[in-house]
Amino acid sequence: MLGKVFIILLIPVTIYVVYYLLNRTAKNSKTIKRVLSDQGKEILEEEVAYYRQLSGQDKQEFEMRCLKFLDTVKIEGVGVEIELKDYMMIAASAIIPIFAFKNWTYPNLTNIMVYPSQFNSTYQFEGHADRNIMGMVGEGAMNGQMILSKSALAYGFKNAGDGHNTAIHEFVHLIDKTDGTVDGIPENLLDKTGVIPFMNLIREEINKIKANKSDIDAYGMTSPAEFFAVASEYFFENPEKFKLNHPELYRSLSEIFEQS
């Protein structure tokens, strides 16, 4: 009797285990097989200088991370069509600053709205707006939202090396925000002992911008948060020039973003 009960119980358990194993294998092979289209790779190669300088293996990793990012964030055009090129440039901007952190996702981002150029000035958006509203990240009720201008997105990649990239700028604000505040100090990525020296570096460099003695975008004078975002744009777009002109800041940003 007990044997019969055991067999009756064993049947559904066996079915479940077999189903689970098959399902898991299917999922795994799906993950392994998934690759970025040739068209997507060509866009990265043509548009993204950071990607171009990666080794073959790192390029594959970068492509996978872009795909994962595009899976998790909804991107919609507002009065503008979004092309594959836009998707790829947005994904690249998201991955560049966090490429060293293998498991990083953006917990504070669900939606990106892409506007044709500068935003409608009557558009109500709670959050912080950048340089003639080329990009912004939402706060309060708009938490999890980002707005980018399509023209600023393209411009950021077209002029690689000029130190300006609006989309990277906005993602750096989101990274800064993961500790709760957009204040220019990414506490999650900075050693505790590094916070005060980094704040001092920011203060010194903002004074240099004010005295017209720095080539970091004057928008960085607005606040430490803006300074961190514009300095990071420059750091990722033209690391050689940044290293030459700002060796101490270069060391700090290399540590923060774990770039070698």
Q: Which residues bind Zn ion (CB under 5 A)?
A: 130, 226, 229
Q: Shortest distance, CB of residue 229 to Zn ion, whole angstroms? A: 5
Q: Shortest distance, CB of residue 147 to Zn ion, whole angstroms? A: 12
Q: For Zn ion, which is the closer residue by CB, 47 or 226?
A: 226
Give the separation between CA 52 and CA 59, rounded to whole angstroms. 8
Question: Are the C-beta atoms of 201 and 194 separated by less than 8 Å?
Answer: no
The dihedral formed by the CA atoms of 174, 178, 180 and 182, expressed in degrees to the nearest 10: -30
Cβ neighbours of 18 (radius 10 Å): 10
Q: Shortest distance, CB of residue 231 to Zn ion, whole angstroms? A: 11
Q: For Zn ion, which is the closer residue by CB, 51 or 228?
A: 228
Q: Shortest distance, CB of residue 82 to Zn ion, whole angstroms? A: 22
Q: For Zn ion, which is the closer residue by CB, 51 or 125?
A: 125
Q: In the complex, which residue's CB is closest to Zn ion?
A: 130
Q: Shortest distance, CB of residue 137 to Zn ion, whole angstroms? A: 8
Q: How far is CA 54 from CA 20, 49, 59, 118, in A?
A: 38, 9, 6, 33
Q: For Zn ion, which is the closer residue by CB, 137 or 201?
A: 137
Give the separation between CA 23 and CA 39, rounded to whole angstroms. 30
| Residue 61, both tokens | 């990793």
Residue 80: partners with Cβ closer than 8 Å, 6 or more residues away: 114, 115, 116, 150
Q: For Zn ion, which is the closer residue by CB, 173 or 246?
A: 173
